[in-house]
């Protein structure tokens, strides 16, 4: 099981939000410095442009380029809602690019993205109480997360990042039951996000046959160290 250290960005700074609420912003320093600290320790990181997600266009491509220059594999997303934005993110060399809002509001855009970039295109499926949220989690929809996941697979998506918004930033553990439900209906790379904090969380996700998990606030707040994360990944590989 792969564990992805997460960096969320607003205004050039590392931040964490609780349940996607921008009023709960906590800052954790400079992304360039943290990336240098992590260099050579972990192969892949998760970089999310929260400012871009809210604005509707990427705002931190320089951080993605820097991470690539240090040798990281990079999964990134936030604000990619046009072909030009998608091309710009892909040109940074990002290994996985997450589409969110546009994947649900414009299926033709998603189809064209998959046709052009193949498995480098992934989808960030963010949900609260089983309903998909869009526009940087600021807008709820009536779309059922399970049904949406099934449709994504039919369209050719090979990687789905599922964030349980109700768990995000709370350090209370992931929504394992929802991840299990998704695992039963989709046979793609499935990534858990939201609340992953302890080794027991990782163990439960591994038992649920989840492929990868994002670790954000637990790492940034010091609840878990990068070295512990490496140990857990090796233990539950």
Supply the residues annotated as catalytic: 8, 126
Of the candidates 75, 95, 87, 132, the residue with the CA atom closest to the CA atom of residue 112: 87
Q: Give the other-Cβ count within 10 Å of 15's Cβ.
A: 21
- Sort strands 121-128 and 131-134 into parallel, antiparallel or unpaired: antiparallel
**Please, what's the largest Cα pairwise distance for the chain?**
43
The string of DSSP codes covering 45-71 is: EEEEEHHHHHHTS---HHHHHHHHHTT
Using CA atoms, how far residue 111 sits from 103, 153, 154, in Å, is: 9, 11, 11
Give the H or E element holding residue 28. Answer: none
């Amino acid at each position: 099981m792969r564990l992805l250290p997460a960096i969320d960005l607003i205004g050039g700074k590392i931040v964490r939000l609780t349940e996607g609420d921008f009023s709960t912003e906590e800052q954790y320093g400079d992304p360039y410095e943290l990336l240098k600290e992590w260099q050579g320790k972990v192969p892949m990181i998760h970089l999310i442009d929260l400012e871009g997600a809210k604005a509707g266009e990427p705002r931190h491509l320089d951080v993605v380029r820097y991470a690539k220059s240090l040798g990281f594999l990079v999964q990134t997303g936030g604000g990619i809602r046009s072909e030009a934005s998608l091309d710009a993110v892909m040109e940074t060399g990002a290994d996985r690019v997450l589409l969110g809002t546009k994947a649900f509001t414009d299926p033709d855009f998603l189809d064209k993205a998959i046709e052009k970039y193949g498995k480098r295109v992934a989808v960030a499926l963010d949900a609260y109480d089983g309903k998909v949220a869009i526009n940087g989690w600021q807008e709820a929809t009536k779309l059922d997360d399970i049904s949406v996941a099934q449709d994504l697979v039919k369209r050719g998506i090979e990687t789905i990042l599922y964030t349980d918004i109700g768990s995000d930033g709370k350090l209370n553990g992931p929504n394992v039951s929802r991840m299990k439900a998704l695992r039963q209906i989709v046979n793609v790379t499935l990534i858990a996000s939201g609340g992953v904090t302890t080794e027991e969380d990782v163990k439960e996700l591994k038992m649920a046959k989840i492929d990868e998990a994002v670790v954000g606030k637990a790492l940034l707040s010091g609840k878990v160290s990068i070295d512990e994360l490496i140990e857990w990944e090796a233990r539950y590989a």
